[in-house]
C-alpha cells in the first residue's frame, strides 16, 4: 500500500498503511539476539527467526519489531554487527509478508538509516533520543517514530533507586511531560503526527511501582493525542508482581494489556501475537468497536 492509499481518517499511519480508530495493533517482537531476557525470544538463528515471524503473522501481527541488541546489560554489540543482524531480516520480512509493517528497534541513527532503506516503516527509539539524529532518519524516510521515556537512563542500563518526586504518581507526570516534548520534536522534524507513537516505556528507568502506575494511568498518556504504544510483554514488573519468571508471565501480560487497551492504548508490542490479538479483540468487542463474527447463542 502506498501513502496515497491511506484513508484520510486513519488514526495511525505506518509504512504507508493506515489503521482505523478503534482497532488495536499487534506488534510482534523478533529479537535477532542470542541473549534476550526471555529464552523464547532469542532468534539470532535465521530458521528460528523465520519460524517466529511466520507464527506471529499467522497469529494476527500487523507490525513486526526487529531488534539486534538486547535491551539490558550484556555483551557489547557494535553498530556494524547490529546492522548485520537486523537489515537483511528487514528485507526478508518485506519480501515474505509485504502487508506487514516492519519496525526497527534501535537507538542508533546509522542502523535506522540502513533499516529504513531496506523497507522499515517505523523506528522504535526505545532509549528516548539518545542519538538525536534518529528522529531525523525517520522523518527523511517517511517512517513512523516511537517517542519513549527512560528517565534519563543510558542505553542498556538498569534503573537503580530511581525516583520521580514525592507525589503518588509522580512518574506519570514526568512521563506525560517528556512524551509531549518528544512528540512535538518529532512532528517538528517532519514526522506525520499520525505516525508519532508515544510509549511510557515500562521498566526502562523505572521500578515496578512506577510501571504499575503507568498501566493504571494509561488514560493520561492517551490524552496526549498520539497513538500509544504499550511494550508490556513478560516484563520484570509483571514478574515481580506475580513473583514469576519470564516463562510464566503471559497471563499477567494479557491482564495489563486488557487494562491498557480499555483505556485507549493503540499498539501492543508482544512476544505472543495470537494470545494478544485475541485479548485485544475481546476488549474491542466489549467496548463496541468490534462485531463478533459469530453470535448465535440465544438466537438459533
Beta bridge pairs of residue 101: 63
Task: Give start and end residues of each alpha helix (H) in 129-169.
Answer: 134-141
Q: How far is CA 194 from CA 13, 147, 165, 198, in A?
A: 6, 13, 32, 11
Which of 32, 206, 217, 269 does the annotation list as catalytic?
Answer: 269
156 is catalytic: no
Q: How far is CA 160 from CA 157, 202, 206, 208, 243, in A?
A: 9, 15, 8, 12, 20
Distance, CA of 187 to CA of 45 (rounded, Å): 37
Q: How far is CA 180 from CA 79, 173, 183, 195, 228, in A?
A: 29, 11, 5, 14, 12
269 is catalytic: yes
Distance, CA of 26 to CA of 30 (rounded, Å): 13
The backbone region for 270, taken as left when phi is positive above 0, alpha when psi lies in -120 to 50, beta otherwise, is: beta
Identify which of 90, 69, 65 has the alpha carbon closest to the alpha carbon of residue 81.
69
Which of 234, 235, 249, 277 does the annotation list as catalytic?
Answer: 235
Residue written as grid cell 539490558: 72
Q: How far is CA 22 from CA 12, 35, 154, 229, 283, in A?
A: 10, 36, 35, 14, 10
The x, y and z cell numbers of residue 86, run together, are 537486523
- Residues serving a catalytic function are 235, 269
Amino acid at each position: 500500500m502506498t501513502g496515497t492509499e491511506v484513508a484520510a481518517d486513519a488514526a495511525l499511519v505506518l509504512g504507508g498503511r493506515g489503521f482505523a480508530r478503534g482497532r488495536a495493533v499487534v506488534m510482534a517482537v523478533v529479537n535477532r539476539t542470542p541473549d534476550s531476557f526471555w529464552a523464547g525470544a532469542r532468534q539470532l538463528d535465521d530458521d528460528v527467526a523465520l519460524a517466529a515471524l511466520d507464527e506471529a503473522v499467522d497469529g494476527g501481527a500487523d507490525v513486526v519489531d526487529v531488534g539486534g541488541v538486547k535491551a539490558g546489560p550484556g555483551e557489547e554489540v557494535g553498530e556494524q554487527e547490529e546492522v548485520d543482524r537486523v537489515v537483511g531480516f528487514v528485507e526478508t520480512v518485506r519480501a515474505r509478508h509485504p502487508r506487514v509493517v516492519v519496525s526497527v528497534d534501535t537507538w542508533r541513527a546509522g542502523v535506522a538509516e540502513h533499516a529504513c532503506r531496506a523497507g522499515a516503516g517505523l523506528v522504535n527509539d526505545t532509549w528516548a533520543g539518545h542519538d538525536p539524529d534518529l528522529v531525523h532518519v525517520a522523518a527523511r524516510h517517511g517512517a513512523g517514530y516511537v517517542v519513549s521515556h527512560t528517565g534519563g537512563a543510558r542505553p542498556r542500563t538498569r534503573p537503580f533507586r530511581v525516583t520521580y518526586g514525592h507525589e503518588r504518581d509522580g512518574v506519570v507526570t514526568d512521563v506525560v511531560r517528556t512524551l509531549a516534548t518528544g512528540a512535538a520534536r518529532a512532528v517538528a522534524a517532519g514526522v506525520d503526527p499520525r505516525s508519532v507513537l508515544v510509549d511510557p516505556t515500562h521498566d526502562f528507568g523505572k521500578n515496578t511501582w512506577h510501571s504499575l502506575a503507568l498501566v493504571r494511568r494509561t488514560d493520561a498518556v492517551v490524552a496526549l493525542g498520539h497513538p500509544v504504544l504499550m511494550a508490556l510483554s513478560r516484563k520484570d514488573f509483571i514478574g515481580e508482581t506475580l513473583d514469576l519468571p519470564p516463562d510464566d508471565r503471559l497471563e499477567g501480560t494479557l491482564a495489563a494489556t486488557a487494562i491498557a487497551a480499555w483505556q485507549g492504548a493503540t499498539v501492543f508490542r508482544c512476544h505472543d501475537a495470537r494470545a494478544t490479538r485475541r485479548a485485544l479483540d475481546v476488549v474491542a468487542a466489549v467496548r463496541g468497536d468490534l462485531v463478533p463474527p459469530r453470535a448465535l447463542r440465544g438466537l438459533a
